Copies of this chain bind each other. A is one copy, B any other.
Amino acid sequence: MASIKDVAAEAGVSVATVSRVLNDHPSVSAEARTRVLAAVETLGYRPNAVARSLRTDQTHTLGLVISDVLNPYFTELARSVEEEARALGYSVIIGNADERPDLQDHHVRNLLDRRIDGLLVSPTDGGSPLMLDAARAGTPMVFVDRWIPGVDVPVVRSDGRAAVRDLVAHLHGLGHRRLAIIAGPAATTTGRERVEAFREALGAYGLELPDAYIGQGDFQAESGRRVTEGFLDLPEPPEVVFAADNLMALGALDAVRARGLRVPDDIALAAFDDIRWFVHTDPPITAIAQPTGELGRAAVRALVDRIEGRPGESVTLPARLVVRRSCGEPPASSEPSPVTNRSQS
């Protein structure tokens, strides 16, 4: 592969001049510039990003560590992150933690070793020493979706509290009184918060959230199935199951179906995180939708701000309830075809 020396030789100038042309430094003669560009062309030269990074101590790369690539929510987040990063001149390297703290650490370490300029994390747990050290050491960092309390890092997330209140109002209005939740891992903020928001919303209607109606899941489908089976085995099963993410909702659906029961007649189902397939499931699933694309973009902007020396602020956006038929009677107005409102930018 041709290096800058080859280009310099071909153009009959020094490497310094070639470098100046490439980084369009002002003081280069038009003559030299054209000769260099011609040489670049004939040799098919491309600057070696590795060498450049070593010298400049910048990789123009962001690391993104997400909890689970197979979850459409994170996949959409990753897409918007990459898009915004590209617009700002950065590349993104994605690490998939699969909800495993050890894998998360593996990726964080790997990304730091590669000297990425900044790190975007949706933490799987309460924060490993590695991540805490990185934050303290001043690595530009931003949390998305989930965060770690007590760490001085901007957080970009959505607040589902109001949407959960709307959901409970909707459920209460349909006559449901025994409401259960499939929670996410207690080590994650979203795992805890969604339960709290749910409990609080129930309280407003004088309803309790008994321990038996809190199932411990891990944001994966299998746990949703297991927890739902437990609910169905209860002497007094809940009338509604609220899954704290879409994959656990899928597992819940599997469990209900395996028993030969039907949604919503035998048991109602709602989920946190809306996905396109929910429109076409049997029945269409009522869900809380986050402004995923906007979250990803805001997170990148906050991170790049930090990298480039600006403050970089936390952002909280509201989620909203999307009513479908999985909790009972159909919504008043029919939903427009989802294909057309896919991108909300």
List residues of A whose CB falls within 8 A of some B CB.
Answer: 44, 46-51, 53-54, 59, 69-70, 72, 75-76, 78-79, 82, 86, 91, 93-94, 96, 106, 109-110, 112-115, 133, 221-222, 225, 250-251, 253-255, 257-258, 276-277, 279-284, 337-340, 342
Contacts and interface: CB of A to CB of B under 8 A. Distances in A.
A338 B254 contact: yes
Given A280-B253, A281-B280, A339-B222, A70 B76 contact: yes
Contacts of A75: 69-70, 75
Given A69-B75, A75-B70, A281-B277, A50 B250 contact: no
A251 B44 CA distance: 43
Contacts of A76: 70
A114 B49 contact: yes
Contact of A48 (B78, B79, B113, B283): B113
Nearest to A79: B69
A173 to B, nearest CB: 24
A280 B257 contact: yes
Contacts of A96: 79, 82
A65 to B, nearest CB: 12
A46 to B, nearest CB: 6
Nearest to A46: B113
Contacts of A113: 46-49
A24 to B, nearest CB: 18
10 contacts: A46-B113, A48-B115, A79-B96, A221-B276, A221-B342, A222-B342, A225-B339, A250-B280, A254-B279, A280-B282
Nearest 9 CB-CB pairs, A to B? A282-B282, A277-B277, A49-B113, A280-B281, A49-B114, A50-B53, A50-B54, A225-B339, A254-B339
B254 A277 contact: no
A49 B115 contact: yes
Contacts of A78: 69
A251 B281 contact: no
Nearest to A277: B277
A42 to B, nearest CB: 14
Q: Among the interface residues A50, A79, A276, which one has the most CB atoms of the partner chain B within 10 A? A: A50
Contacts of A276: 221, 250
Contacts of A338: 254
A279 to B, nearest CB: 7
A47 B250 CA distance: 43
Nearest to A44: B133
A114 B51 CA distance: 9
Nearest to A48: B115
Contacts of A255: 337
Contacts of A254: 279-280, 337-339
Nearest to A263: B280
Nearest to A98: B79
Nearest to A258: B337
Given A49-B114, A69-B79, A282-B284, 8 more contacts: A48-B54, A50-B114, A50-B115, A51-B54, A69-B75, A86-B106, A221-B339, A281-B281
